[in-house]
A and B are shown apart, each in its own frame.
Chain A
C-alpha cells in the first residue's frame, strides 16, 4: 500500500502570499491517480484536483496542482482568509489512501 506523507503539518502565511503544499508518496505513482481536497471546519471535503493537475469544476485558477512520480504539490497563490482549511491528497491503487493533511492558516 502506498503511503502519502504531507508536509508541512501546518503552514501559516499572510494574505497575498503563495502557499506550496507537498504530498510525497512512498512509491512511484505512475498512473497520476492523485487528487487534492480542501476541508473547512464543520464541512465535508471539496474536490480541488484529480489526475494530479485537472482542476475540478468551480475551482479558481489561483489553485494549481502538479508533480509526478513520488512528489506532488498543491500551490495556492494570492492567499485570502477563505483559503484557511485543511488540505488532503488522495491516491487510488486498488484501494484509496489519504494523506494526513496540511493545515493552512492565514494570519
Chain B
C-alpha cells in the first residue's frame, strides 16, 4: 500500500519561503503514470490544489500561485518537494502531498496525512 508522508517546519515567518518534502514509500516515484501533487487546506476551509510534478521535473501549478511555487524531485530518495516563497498569513494551512493519476481521469488516489504550516512572526 502506497504511503506518503509530508515533512517540514510547522512555523514559517512572513515573507520567508515555505519548504516541504514528501517521502513516498512502497512505490517508485519514477512512474510514467503519475504526477506527484501538493494540495492545501486552510483551517476550517476547503481544498486548494497547489501544483503537481512529474519525476522528470516537469510541473504545472495553480495559476493563482504559479509565480511563487517551485517543485523538485529527488528520485534517489523517492521524494518530491514544494517551495512556496514570500508567504503571508493566508498561506497558513494543512499541506497534503498526494499521488495524481494521469490518463485515467486525472484524480488523486493516495494522500499523505498532511502537515500544518503556520505563517506567523
Give residues in A with beta carbon < 8 Å to B: 1, 31-35, 37, 43-47, 50-51, 54, 56, 88, 90, 92, 94-101
Contact = CB atoms under 8 A, between A and B. Distances in A.
Contact of B106 (A33, A88, A99, A101): A33
A92 B107 contact: yes
Interface hub of A45, A54, A94 (most chain B Cβ within 10 A): A45
B49 A44 contact: no
B111 A45 contact: yes
Given A50-B104, A50-B107, A92-B105, A44 B114 contact: yes
B26 interface: no
Contacts of B52: 96
Contact of A47 (B49, B109, B114): B109
Interface residues on B, range: 20 to 34
Contacts of B60: 94-95
Prevailing SS type, chain B contact patch? strand
Contacts of B62: 95-96
B48 to A, nearest CB: 7
Contacts of A46: 111
A45 B99 CA distance: 12
A31 B60 CA distance: 20
Contact of A88 (B47, B104, B110): B47
Residue of B63, B106, B114 with most partner-chain A CB within 10 A = B106
23 contacts: A31-B105, A33-B107, A35-B105, A35-B108, A37-B47, A37-B108, A43-B113, A44-B111, A45-B96, A47-B107, A47-B108, A50-B109, A51-B104, A51-B107, A54-B105, A92-B106, A94-B60, A96-B52, A98-B48, A99-B46, A100-B46, A101-B46, A101-B47
Interface string B83-121: 000000000000010000100111111111110000000
B105 A50 contact: yes
A23 B47 CA distance: 15
Most buried by A among B47, B49, B112: B47
